Amino acid sequence: MSARIASPATIAAALALLFSFGGSASVAQPVARAACTRDVSATIGGKHKCLGAGEYCAIRYERQYERYGFECSTGYNPPRLRRK
């Protein structure tokens, strides 16, 4: 049996292919967020949300809603967002 040695061009092509896929499968890639067309894009409770008047809200995140110009109105059951 004779051992075949890969040519430098073959090794270079294999490395280029490897790095074109990111090099490592264990590296987390960023996830694209959905675009908010009419609403305000926000991060509430560590998650991406599209805020708009009339949407359901959680009282515990009131301060976070205020950053984006909304308040969680308890005049509705369940509470709803309204613009400040």
Nearest one of 55, 30, 29 to 44, comparing CA atoms: 55
Q: What number of CA atoms fall less than 13 Å from residue 44's CA on the CB side?
A: 25
Determine contact, residues 62/72, Cβ cutoff 8 Å: yes
Q: What is the pLDDT of residue 42?
A: 94
Mean pLDDT of 70-78: 93
Among 10-14, 15-19, 67-71, the range of highest mean pLDDT? 67-71
Tokens encoding 6: 């890969």
| Each residue's pLDDT tens digit, 22-64 | 545 556 555 556 688 889 999 999 999 999 999 999 999 999 9
Q: What is the pLDDT of residue 10?
A: 74
Are 54 and 75 contacting, i.e. CB atoms less than 8 angstroms apart? no
CA distance 54 to 35: 19
